[in-house]
Amino acid sequence: MADESNLDDRLRFMRIDQETRDALADFRPFIEQHLPGILDDFYDHIRQWPQVSRFFSGDAQMTGASNKQFQHWMRIATGRFDDEYYQGVRIIGKIHAVLGLEPRWYIAGYTFITSELFSFIAKEFSAKGFGGAKNIDKQISYLIAVNKAANLDMDLAISIYLEEIKIAKHKEMAELADNFEKTVMGSVEAVGAAASELESTAKAMSITAEQTSHRSTTVSAAAEEATANVSVVAASTEEMGKSVSEIAEQVSHSTNIAARAVERAKDTSDTIESLAKAAEKIGEVVNMISDIAEQTNLLALNATIESARAGEAGRGFAVVASEVKSLATQTAKATEDIARQITEMQGITEKSVEAISAIQSTIDEMNEVSVAINAAVEEQSAATQEIARNTHEAAEGTQDVSRNIVAVLEGANETGAASASLVESSVEIGKQSEILTEKVQEFLSTIRAA
- What is the DSSP secondary-structure string of 216-284? HHHHHHHHHHHHHHHHHHHHHHHHHHHHHHHHHHHHHHHHHHHHHHHHHHHHHHHHHHHHHHHHHHHHH
- 3-state secondary structure at position 93: helix
Percentage above 90 pLDDT, the chain: 26
Q: What's the rounded mean pLDDT across residues 181-200?
A: 75
Same fold, 4-175 and 231-416: no
Q: Which segment of 161-170, 181-190, 362-371 scores lowest on mean pLDDT? A: 362-371
The domain 231-416 is placed in CATH, from the list 3.30.300.30, 1.10.287.950, 1.10.3720.10, 3.30.360.10, at: 1.10.287.950
DSSP string, 318-339: HHHHHHHHHHHHHHHHHHHHHH
- Residue 182 DSSP one-character state: I
Answer for the pair 81, 11: CB distance below 8 angstroms, yes or no.
Answer: yes
CB atoms under 10 Å from CB of 351, counted, come to 11
d(CA 124, CA 128): 6
Q: How much is the pLDDT for 272?
A: 52
CATH superfamily of 4-175: Globins (1.10.490.10)
**pLDDT tens for each residue of 374-430:** 676 577 677 667 856 775 775 676 677 567 666 756 876 787 787 788 778 878 878
d(CA 119, CA 339): 186
Residues 6+ apart with CB under 8 A from 301: 321, 325
209 pLDDT above the threshold of 60: yes
Answer for the pair 314, 306: CB distance below 8 angstroms, yes or no.
Answer: yes
Q: How much is the pLDDT for 212?
A: 66
What confidence category does residue 173 fall into, taking pLDDT thresholds of 50, 70 and 90?
A: confident
| Domain residue limits, the chain | 4-175, 231-416
What confidence category does residue 362 fall into, taking pLDDT thresholds of 50, 70 and 90?
A: low
Q: What's the rounded mean pLDDT across residues 150-167?
A: 91
Q: How much is the pLDDT for 282?
A: 58
